[in-house]
A and B are shown apart, each in its own frame.
Chain A
Amino acid sequence: MISTKNLSVRLSGRTVLSDVSISALPGRVLAIAGPNGSGKSTLLKALSGELPYQGEASINGRSVSGTDPLALSQLRGVLPQSSSVAFPFSVAEVVSFGLVASRHHRKTEASGRIAEALSRVGLHGYEARSYLELSGGEQQRVQLARVLCQIPKPVEEGEPRWLFLDEPVSSLDIRHQLAIMQLARDFARAGGGVIAVMHDLNLTALFADDLLLLKSGEMVGAGPLAEIMHDHLLDKAFSCALKVNRVPEGDLPFVLPHTVGI
Chain B
Amino acid sequence: MTSTFFSDGEDTGTGRKPRSAFSGSVLDARKRRVRLAMIALVMLSLAAVAYAATAGASDVSTPRFLLGLVTGDAAMDIRERSVVLDIRLPRVLMGFLVGASLAVSGAVMQGLFRNPLADPGLTGVSAGASLGAVLIIVLGNGFAAPIVSMMGVFALPLAAFLGGLASTSALYAIATRQGQTSVAVLLLAGIALGTLSSALTGFLIFLADDRQLRDLTFWGMGSLAGSNWMKLGAAIPVMLPGLVAAPFLARGLNALALGEASAFHLGISVQKLKRYAIASVAAATGASVAISGGIGFIGIIAPHLVRLAIGPDHRSLLPSSALLGGMLLVLADAAARTLVAPAELPIGILTAAAGGPFFLWILLRNRGQMAL
Structural contact, A100 and B254, CB atoms closer than 8 A: yes
Structural contact, A111 and B27, CB atoms closer than 8 A: yes
Structural contact, B267 and A101, CB atoms closer than 8 A: yes
Structural contact, A69 and B268, CB atoms closer than 8 A: yes
How many Å from the CB of A153 to the closest CB on chain B?
Answer: 8
Structural contact, B22 and A127, CB atoms closer than 8 A: yes
Residues of B with C-beta under 8 A to A101: 251, 255, 266-268
- Does A179 lie at the interface of the complex (its beta carbon under 8 Å from any beta carbon of B)? yes
Structural contact, A97 and B255, CB atoms closer than 8 A: yes
Structural contact, B312 and A89, CB atoms closer than 8 A: yes
* A87-B312, A98-B266 given; A125·B22 CB < 8 A: yes
Residues of A with C-beta under 8 A to B269: 68-70
Whole-angstrom CA separation of A175 from B10 in the bound complex: 11
- Give the residue of A108, A116, A179 whose beta carbon is less than 8 angstroms from that of B6: A179
Segment of B11-19, B71-79, B142-150, B230-238 engaged in the interface with chain A = B11-19
- Per-residue CB contact flags for chain A residues 39-54 toward chain B (1 = under 8 Å, else 0) read 0000001001110000
- Does A150 lie at the interface of the complex (its beta carbon under 8 Å from any beta carbon of B)? yes
- Give the residue of A123, A153, A175 whose beta carbon is less than 8 angstroms from that of B12: A123
Structural contact, A97 and B12, CB atoms closer than 8 A: no
- Per-residue CB contact flags for chain A residues 78-113 toward chain B (1 = under 8 Å, else 0) read 101001111111101110111011100001101110
- Does B259 lie at the interface of the complex (its beta carbon under 8 Å from any beta carbon of A)? yes
- Give the residue of A48, A94, A179 whose beta carbon is less than 8 angstroms from that of B265: A48
- Per-residue CB contact flags for chain B residues 111-126 toward chain A (1 = under 8 Å, else 0) read 1001110000000000
- Give the residue of B259, B270, B307 whose beta carbon is less than 8 angstroms from that of A88: B307
Whole-angstrom CA separation of A87 from B30 in the bound complex: 16
* A50-B264, A89-B313 given; A183·B22 CB < 8 A: no
- Does A62 lie at the interface of the complex (its beta carbon under 8 Å from any beta carbon of B)? no
Structural contact, A114 and B23, CB atoms closer than 8 A: yes
Residues of B with C-beta under 8 A to A183: 3, 5
Q: Which residues of A contact B (CB under 8 A)?
A: 45, 48-50, 68-70, 72-74, 76-78, 80, 83-90, 92-94, 96-98, 100-102, 107-108, 110-112, 114-116, 118-128, 132, 146, 150, 153-154, 175, 178-179, 182-183, 186-187, 190
Q: Which residues of B contact A (CB under 8 A)?
A: 1-3, 5-6, 10, 12-17, 19-20, 22-24, 26-27, 30, 111, 114-116, 251-252, 254-259, 261-262, 264-270, 307, 311-313, 369
Given contacts A119-B6, A127-B26, 8 further A-B pairs with CB under 8 A are A49-B264, A69-B270, A86-B258, A88-B307, A111-B20, A115-B20, A115-B23, A120-B2
In order of increasing CB-CB distance, the 7 nearest A-B pairs are: A101-B267, A73-B267, A87-B312, A86-B114, A179-B5, A125-B12, A122-B6
- Can you list 15 A-B contacts with CB-CB less than 8 angstroms, sorted by A residue number? A72-B265, A84-B258, A84-B259, A87-B114, A88-B307, A89-B311, A89-B312, A90-B26, A97-B257, A101-B268, A111-B23, A115-B20, A119-B6, A125-B17, A125-B22
